[in-house]
Structure 1
Amino acid sequence: MAKKRQILVIGHNTKGCLPKHEKIAYEIGAEIAKSDSVLICGGLGGVMIAAAHGAKDAGGLTIGIIPQNDPAEANEYCDIVIPTGMGLARDFLNALSADGVIIVGGGSGTLSETCAAYMHKKPMVAIRNLDSSVDPFIGGYLDHRENIKIVGVDTPQEAIKKILELISP
């Protein structure tokens, strides 16, 4: 059996997460499940719970890598919970566990995960026009190294299509 693709969805936690972010994340989660990929998220609220909910509703497998040490802290849509007890350092585990990353809005935590993925040259796709910390970098690079371009898309369907193109051999 071949390894399943693992797609990380990152974005706003509960604070700052608007209904439009939740709707987009839910649809992305469902599309990940339909593509027979595994959804990875930070396992908490906001974009994370919405994406996991969408993946579960579409029959997919979900993994939540949480910063706390108690697995009960994860949202109810996580099939597999990895309680790291590492706080925000878990952002690196999230990025390194993924074959590709989809970004739905977000603040400094999302930017931290984006930087971790960038340093390890993980393909990334970001939904445009969500007023996030990543917006200035969509269509370009985070720095002079030009490790990996952050590709901008407009819809959840485009996000899945593009990330699958980028991570397929």
Structure 2
Amino acid sequence: MVRKRQILVIGNNTNGCTPKHEKIAYDIGSEIAKSDSVLISGGLGGVMEASSHGAHDANGFTVGIIPQDDASFANEFCDVVIPTGMGLTRDYLNALSADGVIIVGGGSGTLSEACASYMHKKPMVAIKNLGSSVDPYIDGYIDHRKNIKIIGVDTAQEAVKKILELITA
């Protein structure tokens, strides 16, 4: 049996998540499911919930790695919930669980997950022009080490196609 690809979707939580973020995240979740990959997220609201919802509606499989110690905090579209009780340090679990990362907007928490992914050289793709904390690094690097370039794309379909290419490269 071949292990399925695991794609982490990160971005705005409920606070700051716009209908545009939700639509893009939902479509990304759907595309991940169609690619027969597992969607991983932080398991809460906003982009995490919208992407999980999209994957769920496309008969995909979703994992939510939540910061709380109680699974009831996870959104309803998580097939598997991993309650860590670790607070924000769970960002490292998210990053290390992923074969690749797709970024949809986001603030400091998203930047933290992107940095954790960057340090572990996880391929990353970001939707451009969403006004996120990651925007300054799109099509470039987070620091002088040039570990991994964050590739900018315009659509959900491009994001999933590109992350799959980067994972298998």
Tell me if both proteins adopt one fold, taking TM over 0.5 as the criterion: yes
Count, aligned residues: 169
Partner of 1:73: 73
Alpha-carbon distance in 2 for matches of 1:116, 1:90: 10
1:61 to partner: Cα distance: 0.3
Between the aligned partners of 1:144 and 1:125, the Cα distance in structure 2 is 19
TM-score for both structures, normalised by structure 1: 1.00
Aligned-pair Cα RMSD in Å: 0.4
Q: Kindly state the Cα deviation for residue 141 of structure 1 after the two structures are TM-superposed.
A: 0.2
Hey, what's the Cα distance between the residues in 1 that align with 2:142 and 2:65? Answer: 24
5 Å-filtered alignment, 1:94-105, equals 94-105=94-105
The match for 1:57 is: 57
Give SS of 1:85's match: coil
The answer to whether residue 113 in structure 2 is matched with residue 132 in structure 1 is: no
Whole-angstrom distance in 1 between the partners of 2:87 and 2:57? 29
Instruction: Say whether residues 1:141 and 2:147 are aligned partners.
Output: no
Cα distance, 1:89 vs. partner?
A: 0.1
For 2:160, the aligned partner's letter is I
Name the amino acid aligned to 1:122. K
- Secondary structure of 1:76 counterpart: coil
State the partner residue of 1:154: 154
Aligned positions of 1:1-169 closer than 5 A:
1-169=1-169
1:40 is paired with a residue of what secondary structure?
strand
CA distance in 1, matches of 2:123, 2:92: 15
Q: Distance in 2 between matches of 1:157 and 1:114?
A: 20
**Residues 116-143 of structure 1 deviation map (CA, whole Å, 9 limit, x = unaligned):** 0000000000000000000000000000
Query: What TM-score comes out, normalization by structure 2 length?
Result: 1.00
- What SS does the aligned partner of 1:62 have? strand
Q: Which runs of 5+ in 2 are unaligned?
A: none
Letter in 2 for 1:17: C
Which runs of 5 or more residues in structure 1 are unaligned?
none
- Structure 2 CA distance, aligned partners of 1:157 and 1:102? 11
Partner of 1:8, secondary structure, is strand
Deviations 1:23-46 (A, max 9, x none): 000000000000000000000000
3-state SS of paired residue (1:151): strand
Deviations 1:79-132 (A, max 9, x none): 000000000000000000000000000000000000000000000000000000
AA aligned opposite 1:16:
G
